[in-house]
Structure 1
Amino acid sequence: MSQKQLYITHSQDIFQLINGGFLADSQIEISRGNVRGIWSDESIGGLSLSSDDKVIPVVTQQFVFLSKQLSETVIEGVIALLPKQDWTVSLLSSHLDVEKLTIRLSERLSSTENTNLYQYCNDNNVDLIECNDTKPTLLKPGLVVLDMDSTSITIECIDEIAKLADVGDEVAEITELAMQGKLDFSESLRLRVSKLKGIEVSLLDSIANNLPLMPGMAALAKSFKEHGWRVAIASGGFTYFADNLKVQLGLDAAVSNTLVIEDGKLTGEVAGTIVDAQVKADTIEVLAKEYDIEPSQTIAIGDGANDLVMMKKAALGIAYHAKPVVQQQADVAINYGDLRSVIALLSD
């Protein structure tokens, strides 16, 4: 496609474009209050070719803002919080209906300015991510490994099983402590599973056959696959559900725990090695080697303390609607958008 560089003299024009929606390959640049747009073979009325040939300076800090809709008011609020600099360059784009604003600064924000910017975004349900250009790219093959419960699906499967055994509250309490990192995961899993002894396996089908996908999960898996990526699940949950999810979404792999079954009932035991934090991390390394994926092209996504080792093993660790301890240690935290935000973050 041919490309046209266009010049907009009034910032209001950019907000009209925002409110009207973007195409996936649209980009808009703002430089010192003026707007320069680059579209692939698009015709936009009222815009003229730009003669601006200024060189963009070295970037010292880069922020990405993600939201279902970045309104004029929100963007004006963001710009108002930025200090006066010689250069501020921004890009606007939309990916899978997630709007993305990238601001590159020639000078780093102070600690106070940084805090104020994050607070403003939190107040407006905007995911703010400080990142650099070394993150994995969709332009070449990669591997993304996701946790299952409360990340790929909206439920904790073991809690749902526990409800069938009338021990829901008791198991949920243990689950929460484990997710917060206040209880050893392997110990907590064996304790929780022991309380499920005697449940008819047939009852699990009602859960396995109706797994509620996390919003954006199907789109995330489809988009990654379209870009030549491998998509896998590494879960402290159970094969009864993870294998079902693998088939449903056409995933490349699913690693999880096996419940022991005798005479059609759960024995209250887990077979073999527990899929704990280290096993999850090892899964990234094993699958990357199996699929010949560069380590720099690996991503881990999770929500609990049991996912932190996996996140550190990957080139990019993403905390998704996660516990505070996980958000603090992850490379990236997505708290407001759905899983499509991951694709928007990686898209250029």
Structure 2
Amino acid sequence: MTAARFLVVLDADSTLIRNEVIELLADEAGRRAEVQAATEAAMRGEVDFATSLRSRVSALSGVPVEAFERVRARVEPTPGVHELTAAVHERGGVVGVVSGGFHEILDHVAPPIGVDRWRANRLAVADGVLTGAVEGEIVDAEAKAHWLRTWAAELGVAPGATLAIGDGANDLRMMEAAGLGLAFNAKPAVRAAASLVIGPVDLREVIPLLP
């Protein structure tokens, strides 16, 4: 594999894209309000992410898989994200995304945005509907840090040449593991812990920080 000059790893929901996908899926179940409240608590770090995610996914039980297409149509890329990924590639870098969200959405959304590699959770399905469970291990804070380190090693990128961009408590370990941790559209605890805070919700603001 060809070595990269540097690696940029982003969170997905409210970072790579403007939406919280689980809330869009909850719309399909008529349970957005309760899921939204639980998402906010998890992003502030008030509850364990894995426990919170299992609880929120349970609210999606019975949603048909056809809902994925409707949700994907509602996803909005964050302003400046295409310019950022293009700038990373022009400079010899690689773009990764590690998400507490879902492959069922990210697999379709990530490639057109210019993401090179990504990891997320998978939703269990039976008889064409969501069961309300997550398949396999949950992508939590430790998993996000793991994938940043793993991809950097695979690409021959030194830890100091990695950037992590996130908004919630689930991104803190990934940001700590990176050479530069950027709080973007972030909760107060994340802004306090970050190397730098990006104020405008425009990912072009990251371009001057690229190696």
SS in 2 for 1:279: helix
- Between the two proteins, the alignment pairs up a number of residues equal to 208
Could you tell me the TM-score, scaled by structure 2's length?
0.95
Unmatched tracts of structure 1, length 5 or more: 1-139
Give the distance between the partners of 1:337 and 1:191, measured in 2 at CA. 29
Once superposed, what is the RMSD of the aligned Cα atoms?
A: 1.2
Q: Report the counterpart of residue 234 of structure 1 in structure 2.
A: 98
1:173, 1:241 → 2: CA distance? 21
Counterpart-to-counterpart distance in 1, 2:200 and 2:84: 16
The answer to whether residue 70 in structure 2 is matched with residue 206 in structure 1 is yes
Question: Is the CA contact (8 Å cut-off) linking 2:14 and 2:167 kept in structure 1?
Answer: yes
Aligned pairs for 1:1-348 within 5 A: 141-336=5-200, 338-346=202-210
Runs (4 or more) in structure 1 with deviation over 4 Å come to none
Could you tell which deviates more after superposition, 301-310 or 328-337? 328-337
Task: Give per-residue Cα distances to partners, 1:3-39, cap 9 Å, x unaligned.
Answer: xxxxxxxxxxxxxxxxxxxxxxxxxxxxxxxxxxxxx
Distance in 1 (alpha carbons) for counterparts of 2:38 and 2:85: 30
Query: How far, CA to CA, are the matches of 1:337 and 1:239 in structure 2?
Result: 24
Instruction: Give the number of the structure whose residues are more often strand, by fraction.
Output: 1
Gaps of 5+ in 2: none
Structure 2 counterpart of 1:313, one-letter code = A
- Tell me the amino acid that sits aligned with residue 290 of structure 1: E
Greater relative CO (CA pairs within 8 A, separation 6+): 2
Cα pair 1:209 1:244 within 8 Å, conserved: no
CA deviations over 1:252-303 (Å, ceiling 9, x no partner): 1110000001111100000110000000000011001111111111000000
Amino acid corresponding to residue 81 of structure 2 in structure 1: M
Deviations 1:167-211 (A, max 9, x none): 000000000000000010000000000010000110111122442
Question: How far apart are the structure 2 equivalents of 1:181 and 1:159?
Answer: 18
Amino acid at match of 1:198: G
Q: Encode CA deviations 1:114-142: one digit per residue, 9 max, x unaligned.
A: xxxxxxxxxxxxxxxxxxxxxxxxxx710
Q: 2:49 is aligned with what amino acid?
A: F
Larger-Rg structure:
1
Separation in 1, partners of 2:185, 2:60 = 28
Q: Which amino acid aligns with 1:330?
A: A
Could you tell me how far apart the structure 2 residues matched to 1:198 and 1:314 are? 39
How many Å separate the matches in 2 of 1:212 and 1:336? Answer: 17
2:170 match: secondary structure: helix
- Greater per-residue helix proportion: 2
Write out per-residue CA displacement over residues 52-85 of structure 1, whole angstroms, 9 at most, x where no aligned residue: xxxxxxxxxxxxxxxxxxxxxxxxxxxxxxxxxx
Query: Quick one: distance in 1 between partners of 2:210 and 2:99?
Result: 24
